[in-house]
Structure 1
């Protein structure tokens, strides 16, 4: 397992580039553009709505908290590259680690 972890990004180059372009474009629009007009909270709500409409599951609501974190980091650093990388890494973590874990796949029960 230790030998395969560094290669998690290169196992599927298309998927990696897709995730990178999604993170880049979402952060450019929501953080750089919309946060110049709205608060972090409002921008995070606006960030969550398309995820709910596109995917329509419980996980879609969970993007709100990371969105608040990205907004906070952007407010403090004004670094678009940093938040795009954070977004990309969290997408990869969610896609490669959480979606393949037994916790998520066994059915989340309260």
Structure 2
């Protein structure tokens, strides 16, 4: 009975999540990510309710946000620095992708960028619930935390697949992987969805504004 319950509560959800994540390569961004988010978030909340758990049990600990920032501010800022480096090198490492991106500049505006900020916050929050609160936590039940973090980061990189050149995929996926290692470490240390969401959100915002104001001048 124990093995059966373990199969139902750990291995099968992990397998479904992994499969849905891989569909991101086949389907569009919206479809692939939406399926992954929907499954993991619904499963997480249903499982928690069934076990009569508290919101804090699944990483929703708002009271610890400030203590976590004070203690792990340097970890939280590493993805921001990584984003600055990756975007700054983007123009020189991937000139063909940069030129394509530059062509989209006339369609962008500062006002549209500001409207993207709440969208980036919601996206970062949903991704952290799915990949850290659900996937990484489930993996920690069957393997060491370090491997759970690495596997989660690999799947996140796959889940954010972009239809660009091979060199572009390698470059973008490398930095996504590194950033997600940090998000995973933050979550493992704090067990707080909000703390890794803050790091994720700040990195995304900095990257998009650097692209707009610096690289596309």
SS in 1 for 2:162: helix
Q: TM-score, normalised by structure 1?
A: 0.74
Counterpart check, 1:48 vs 2:175: no
Q: Highest Rg: 1 or 2?
A: 2
CA root-mean-square deviation: 2.3
Query: Closer, same or farther in 2 for the Cα pair 1:55/1:69, shift >3 Å?
Result: farther
Which residues of 2 match residues 1-110 of structure 1 at below 5 A?
A: 12-38=113-139, 39-51=148-160, 53-56=161-164, 57=168, 58-98=171-211, 100-102=213-215
Structure 1 gap segments, 5+ residues each: 1-9, 106-110
Larger fraction in helix: 2
CA shift for structure 1 position 55: 4.9
